[in-house]
Amino acid sequence: MKKILIATTNRAKLEELIIGVNPLKNHGIKIYTLNDVGLKEKPEETGQTFCENAKIKAQFYAKKTNLSTIADDGGLIIPYLNNEPGVKSRRWLGYEATDKELIEYTLERLKNVPKEKRIAYLWVCLCFFDPISKKIFFEEENIKGYIAEKPSGRATFGYPFRALFIVEKFNKYYDELTEKEHQQINHRLIALKRLIKKIKI
C-alpha cells in the first residue's frame, strides 16, 4: 500500500489537508501525519518564495521518513507593504508572536491607508515529493481581497490574517464565510485537488 505523509505542524492546516486528501484513500493510499511517524524536527525555511519553502519542507520530511510527502507554505501578501509579510507571514514578528499580536501589527502598518491601497492576497503553494522516484509536483492558488480596518472578532486559531481579510468575491471577512462560501474559495483545497491529479499519474 502506498503511503503519503502530510507534513504540517499547524493543526488547522492539517485538518484542511486531511479532508482534501481523502480521495487518495480510494486509490489504496494510506495517509500519515507527523504525529503518526513521531517526527518533531522542523527544517529551516530559507526559501525566498512559498514554493521554495514548500519544497524544503516536503524534501526534509520525505528524507527523514522515506515516505512520499505533501507539504505547503503560504501566507499573506500585501502589495502596499512591498509584498510583506510574504514568506515570513507566520514569523513576521518572530515565531513566538501570538495571533493577536500579528493582527495588531498588521493594522498598525496600514493605519490611515485608504481601502484602494489595502489590496491583499492569501497565497499558498503545495509541494509533493517522492523520495524514491524523486518526482516533485507543485500547485499554487490565491484569494484576492483587502485588509479591513478592524478584525472580525471571529478569528480562527492558527490563521490570524483571516480575521482581517475581506474576501473580494463575497465582500465578507474570511472568518465570516459560510461553509459553502468557504469551499468555493478555499485556495489550499483548490490547489490540493490539482496536486492529487498529478500524484495519481
Residues acting as catalytic residues: 73
Say whether 175 sits in a helix, a strand or coil.
Answer: helix
Give CA–CA dist 20/192, Å, rounded.
7
Contact in structure between 87 and 53 (CB atoms under 8 Å) = yes
Judge residue 176's burial from the number of C-beta atoms within 10 Å of its C-beta, 0-12 exposed, 13-18 middle, 19 or more buried. Answer: middle
Residue 177 phi, psi (nearest 5): -70, 145
What type of residue sits at position 20? Answer: G
Question: Which residues fall within 8 angstroms of residue 136, CB to CB, at 6 or more apart?
Answer: 55, 58, 127, 128, 129, 130
Q: Which residue has the cell 507527523?
A: 34
